[in-house]
Amino acid sequence: MSFPAFPLPHTDVHLLDNYPLIRTRKLDEARELIGLALSPHRLDITAHAQRFEARHNQVRLNQVSLNVLAYGADVTIDPGVRGDFYLFQLPLRGSAVLQSNGQQAQLDNRTMGVLLPRAHTTMEWSSDCVMLMVLVPSKLLHQRLPAARGQACLPFPLTQSLNNPAVSAWWTALVDMTRNLDRHGEQWLTLPAAQSAMESFLLSGVSLLHSPGSDKQLAGQQKSKLALQRALDFIHAQGHRSLKLQEVAEVACVSPRTLEHIFHSRFGMSPLTYGRCMRLDQVHQTLLSMAATGEQTSVTQIALQNGFIHMGRFAAYYKARFGCAPSDTLRVN
């Protein structure tokens, strides 16, 4: 089923303009001030530098903060290892690419990102990106959310789709609350009880984003990651010989078909092709070293030492990978 774009009025890109925190056209100043408000980071302009203007609006509800941030230019944001807080974010306009803990995803106005505490993260924002972000300290979330108690970090997926009714319900309520605060904050923000109620409402709604299905998906991802690492460790340890798919799959603790899928998803090739490429690289490096030192050797001897038995196939594989015959590499001075 297809869904229409998330209905955001044009005025939403100016959300919380009544609560400006930072306004600057200076890159260094933006890096410093936004770093103080969110997390220290490296900030670089990659395109449209003449349009750069950091605009950061913020409303605090006790410990939770609602933020709207835009830069006006294409930027790369590299906080390295982030602070001890969760950051729920979705572009009101434009898009962003996230890389966090080895995963990559693109955000748009139908795809929300969840950055985990102390995760190694980089981001690329488009020049028209206007990001609504909810910052929740880890300690607070773990106190309020039963599923988080006793865990060092609640394992949210990197992205969540607003096509999911539960996610859409929470985000719609958040946007409605932010609009209300933008227009009537002078009334609400003078009432501590109202701030506490809004904060509690948002935190209770986070449970909608953490479903058993999320845990199952994350468990599957973790299983694949472990299987991949076991397979890689085994392939590299057995770099002197050709392997069979079944024996690699047994070491990885998954079926041969599953292992094939994992390798194709990660490397675009099968486990055995990966292993062959690794052994070809070993031969190539050895031949280059021999050529540089003038040490006497034979291509056949080096090939056999790296698990290649059929010299005709070996020569074809080598030429396909390096564009020349193995003997040509050995003659390089």
**In terms of DSSP H, where are the helices of the chain?**
27-37, 138-144, 165-188, 192-206, 212-237, 245-252, 256-267, 271-293, 299-305, 311-322, 326-330
Same domain, 135 and 207: yes
Residue 1 — very low, low, confident or very high, per pLDDT cuts 50/70/90? very low
Give domain status of residue 219, yes or no: no
Is 45 a domain residue? yes
Q: Is residue 1 part of a domain?
A: no
Distances (CA, A) of 46 to 15, 52, 75, 99, 190: 25, 10, 5, 17, 41
104 shares a domain with 48: yes
For residues 74 and 91, the answer to whether their CB atoms sit within 8 Å is no
Residue among 64, 210, 209, 56 at smallest CA distance from 125: 56
On whether both 267 and 322 belong to a single domain, the answer is yes
Within-domain flag for 265: yes
Element (H, E) at 78: strand 74-81
Q: Name the 3-class secondary structure at 81.
A: strand
Residues 16 and 76 in one domain: yes
State the CATH number of the domain containing residue 146: 2.60.120.10
- CA 95 vs. chain centroid, Å, equals 14
Domain span at 251: 224-333
**pLDDT value at residue 6:** 43
Same domain, 54 and 184: yes
Same domain, yes or no: 34 and 167: yes
Residues 234 and 199 in one domain: no
pLDDT at 30 over 60: yes
pLDDT at position 5 is 41
Question: Does residue 185 lie in a domain region?
Answer: yes
pLDDT at 4: 39
Q: Is residue 308 part of a domain?
A: yes
- The answer to whether position 133 is within a domain reads yes
Which is more confidently placed, 220 or 28?
28
Boundary of a domain, candidates 169, 189, 213: 213
User: Nearest to residue 56, comparing CAs of 42, 75, 71, 78?
Assistant: 71
Output the pLDDT for position 59. 96
**Mean pLDDT on 211-225:** 60
Q: Which span out of 86-90, 215-219, 233-237, 246-250 was modeled with the highest average pLDDT?
A: 86-90
Q: Are 62 and 140 found together in one domain?
A: yes
The tally of domains found in the chain comes to 2
Tell me the C-alpha distance between 41 and 27, whole Å.
12
- Regarding whether 167 and 29 lie in a shared domain, the answer is yes
Specify whether 229 is located in the same domain as 202: no
- Residue where a domain stops, chosen among 161, 187, 213: 213
DSSP H helical segments within 73-164, as ranges?
Answer: 138-144
Residue 106: Cβ within 10 Å count:
13
Q: What is the pLDDT of residues 133-171, one digit of tens each?
A: 999 998 898 888 766 666 667 778 889 889 888 889 999
pLDDT for 219 equals 55
State whether 274 and 127 are in the same domain. Answer: no
* Domain termination residue (choose one: 213, 243, 265): 213
Average confidence score pLDDT of the chain:
87
Instruction: For residue 313, count other CB atoms closer than 10 A to its CB.
Output: 11
Tokens of 174: 């958040």
Q: Where are the alpha helices (DSSP H) in 19-158?
A: 27-37, 138-144
The answer to whether residues 197 and 240 belong to one domain is no
Residue 71 lies in a domain: yes
Q: Reduced to 3 states, what is the DSSP secondary structure of residue 170?
A: helix
CATH code where residue 291 lies: 1.10.10.60
